[in-house]
Structure 1
Amino acid sequence: MIKKLFLQIILIVCISNCFAQSPDRRWPEARIWAWYNQQPWYCGFNYIPAYAINYTAMWDKTTFNEAAIDKELALAEKSGMNSLRAVLQYAVYADDPKYFINTLDKFMAICDKHHIKFIPALFDDCSFGITNDPKTGKQPEPLMGWYAWAWSPSPGHSMVVDSATHPKLKKYVTEVIARFKNDKRILMWDLYNEPTNGGLGTATFPLLKKTIVWARAVNPSQPLTIGIFDQNPRLNKIITDNVDLITFHDYGDKEHVTKTIEELKQYNRPMINTEWMNRPWKSTVSEIVPVFYQYKVGCNLWGLVNGKTQTNLPWGHRPGDPEQKLWQHDLYSGDFKPYKSAEIDSLKLFIDRSKSAEYISEHQHK
């Protein structure tokens, strides 16, 4: 009896040590797998409202529109999807931190109402237009025929490369994560969307590394991640050495996505795809969702309702370029009609299947 009790105590201590770690360290494999095994299969989307030409417009006090967001997320819920990812905008926070925090809370309340988990991305280097720094207030109107004409990086390229501004960014990262560090409406923290993209290259590395340290110091209950999106070995080592779970972007066809997943298995951590769907490249619902479903890799396509960003156009599209009739992104047109009804039916089918006891049991990591 004493021996049995002693063994039970040893087991409890071992489990406790496994899940306890210094706040500046990433989660051990056992902890992240235990977390992942408790999650459903996430099948969702990258979200920017149809009214917003960029993420500044989404969050800014001059344009944030709860009613429009509620209608669009009701559409997502009706489609069966259960997660969304959206980029936050530092400039809006800097303009009025209290407003920004309250607006995030309102947005997450809408997500929760529609049973959708939120994946916030704190920074973003991407730039598709002619401006690389955001400005709050009224945003430009679309330039017809230009993909993501007025996209606004966060915090903007000037601040990324100017280390003197980084204490301000530390305050932003720390305050936002600390405010929601135990909020169950958040699935995970995506610290930086496509760092180095938009022409910055390795100039992003200092801020990227600092952001990881700042976030770890807060020690949120949700896991931390950064998406792998290209073949830069230096960047990918920073990412894979520091994230709790592996996230990645892949707009390739079925063979390419399968190869990516098989290669990422080497890290022995759960995987969630945070960007996919490019119809002209054969990254389609019918081809790709079955792959993610088979591997129980969560997936977030781009995007929900087509609007001012004009992401139905191909990357790099400019006014006067030949028309591409096949949409690149987006599930619905602005009038909420599906671009292809079969896509919505297929998403619902796989999401419903993923809720079966057999599927859940089969995909439990041992």
Structure 2
Amino acid sequence: MKPRLTALLPALSCLLFLPAQAQQWSVEQAQEWAKTQPWRAGSNFTPSTAINQLEMWQADTFDPETIDRELGYAASCGMNAARVFLHDLLWEQDSEGLLKRMDQFLAIADKHKVGIMFVLFDDVWDPSPKLGKQRDPRPHTHNSGWVQSPGKDVLVDAAKRKTLEPYVTGVLTRFKDDKRVIVWDLYNEPGNPNLSAYGKVELPVEEKKKHSLELVKLSFEWAWKVRPTQPITVGVWTGDWSTKEKRDALNAYQIDHSDIISFHVYSDLEKTKSMTEPLLEYGRPVLCTEFLARTAGSRLQDILPYFKEKKVDSYQWGLVAGKTQTQYPWESWKRDFTAEPEVWFHELFHKDGKPYDKEETDLYKKLTGK
């Protein structure tokens, strides 16, 4: 070996052992994390006084009193987790204020022993979000004011998508070691075309999926720069993931890059099993971040015991019937309702804390040991 190369050996050996950028957890890391966690059962949570993410978090409408009361309802039946949506425009509007209110929210949740999963992006419902006062609910209509994050104008523009990095890294950096945060869900239902609500496709389906996949990839890259101590996930929600070969590009990327695997299913028990079992084969912890649609066959009495048996953490849609109006079904966008449906679609409690169905809240108590 030439003398000059010999002299460089110590420096080269140091370079060889520099740690690579931390990325996805190994299966073993994910399973070790799972050993530290109880079985989680909870809801997707928006206070009854907020129509969407912006109304929940903006300074003028942030409502800690209602949040405290309604997370108390959750805790009263044994729920120990909640999935909560953020929005990129909140960071743009007032990043320090958002972080302060998130900390206040986490303190309330921690008082009730409810761990929080935050969701950063969302492809569902209104593609044109705007800051400020939010519109009133459309009468008798499911989720009539929910907004996408980011809006369509940002999603379709590669340069604008990249401006979202400070939002992701800023929020994750602030709470990356906070034990009150249990999971980071980077992106809800990427590629959702919103057919059930708006009656037409806001973008050609494949075009939206392409843009959403690019933002999914960026979201993971930005999250890995921070590498929080909590697990990172993006849940699959549509298509066929029964085998690796049948997955589309979005589902494959989401499953193959998440620390823990998450999914949505709004179907009966048989279908729920068929969608859960293939995900368990990956050897990672699995959680269902959306279920419960009573008139579509997704019933707590059937599905919650199955998730407990399989150690699948579960987050039903909705907690308290309020301005999101998700006790009404998806079809309320297409069929006129003049009164609340006799059988609620989502939600567990009335505003006064009375359960919609005591059998359901008793089941939560039984399965969580409340």
Q: What TM-score do the two structures reach when normalised by structure 2? A: 0.86
Partner of 2:327: 312
Letter in 2 for 1:351: T
1:132 aligns with one of 101, 123, 127: 127
For 2:59 and 2:331, how far apart are their aligned partners in 1? Answer: 30
8 Å Cα contact 1:57-1:138 kept in structure 2: yes
- How far does residue 248 in structure 1 lie from its aligned partner after superposition? 0.6
Q: Does 1:274 align with 2:298?
A: no
For 2:75 and 2:291, how far apart are their aligned partners in 1? Answer: 19
Partner of 1:9: none
For 1:137 and 1:195, how far apart are their aligned partners in 2? Answer: 25
Letter in 2 for 1:152: V
Q: Does 1:333 align with 2:333?
A: no
2:210 aligns with one of 196, 202, 215: 202
Q: Does 1:86 align with 2:81?
A: no
Partner of 1:257: 272
Partner of 2:10: none
Superposed CA offset, 1:275-313 (max 9, x none)? 000101221111111100110111000111000111011
Residues 190-229 of structure 1 mapped to structure 2, 5 A cutoff: 190-197=185-192, 198=194, 199=201, 200-229=208-237
Partner of 1:147: 142
- How far does residue 203 in structure 1 lie from its aligned partner after superposition? 2.1
Q: Does 1:350 align with 2:351?
A: no
For 2:248 and 2:321, how far apart are their aligned partners in 1? Answer: 34
Q: Does 1:237 align with 2:252?
A: yes
- Pick which of 341-350 and 280-289 moved more: 280-289
8 Å Cα contact 2:235-2:255 kept in structure 1: no
In percent, how many aligned pairs have the same letter? Answer: 37
For 1:155 and 1:110, how far apart are their aligned partners in 2? Answer: 27
1:96 aligned counterpart, secondary structure: helix
Q: Does 1:294 align with 2:309?
A: yes
- Pick which of 261-270 and 48-57 moved more: 261-270
How many aligned positions are there? 331
For 1:133 and 1:94, how far apart are their aligned partners in 2? Answer: 15
Q: Does 1:28 align with 2:36?
A: no
Letter in 1 for 2:293: N
8 Å Cα contact 2:232-2:259 kept in structure 1: yes
- How far does residue 335 in structure 1 lie from its aligned partner after superposition? 2.2
For 2:314 and 2:332, how far apart are their aligned partners in 1? Answer: 26
For 2:211 and 2:160, how far apart are their aligned partners in 1? Answer: 14
8 Å Cα contact 1:84-1:116 kept in structure 2: yes
8 Å Cα contact 2:209-2:250 kept in structure 1: no
Partner of 2:3: none
Residues 112-127 of structure 1 mapped to structure 2, 5 A cutoff: 112-127=110-125
For 2:331 and 2:123, how far apart are their aligned partners in 1? Answer: 16
For 2:346 and 2:154, how far apart are their aligned partners in 1? Answer: 30
Q: What TM-score do the two structures reach when normalised by structure 1? A: 0.87
8 Å Cα contact 2:321-2:327 kept in structure 1: yes
Q: Does 1:95 align with 2:93?
A: yes
For 1:314 and 1:281, how far apart are their aligned partners in 2? Answer: 9
Letter in 2 for 1:312: Q
8 Å Cα contact 2:140-2:338 kept in structure 1: no
For 1:26 and 1:168, how far apart are their aligned partners in 2? Answer: 23
- Pick which of 198-207 and 152-161 moved more: 198-207
Partner of 1:12: none
1:212 aligned counterpart, secondary structure: helix
Letter in 2 for 1:193: N
For 2:281 and 2:359, how far apart are their aligned partners in 1? Answer: 35
Partner of 2:177: 182
- How far does residue 21 in structure 1 lie from its aligned partner after superposition? 7.1
8 Å Cα contact 1:274-1:300 kept in structure 2: yes
Q: Does 1:169 align with 2:158?
A: no
For 2:19 and 2:179, how far apart are their aligned partners in 1? Answer: 21
2:164 aligned counterpart, secondary structure: helix
8 Å Cα contact 1:21-1:27 kept in structure 2: no
Superposed CA offset, 1:305-345 (max 9, x none)? 00011101111413624864211000011222110011000
Partner of 1:51: 49
For 2:182 and 2:23, how far apart are their aligned partners in 1? Answer: 19
8 Å Cα contact 2:23-2:227 kept in structure 1: no
Letter in 2 for 1:333: H
- Residue segments in structure 2 that go unaligned for 5+ positions in a row: 1-17, 195-200, 202-207, 240-246
Partner of 1:39: 37
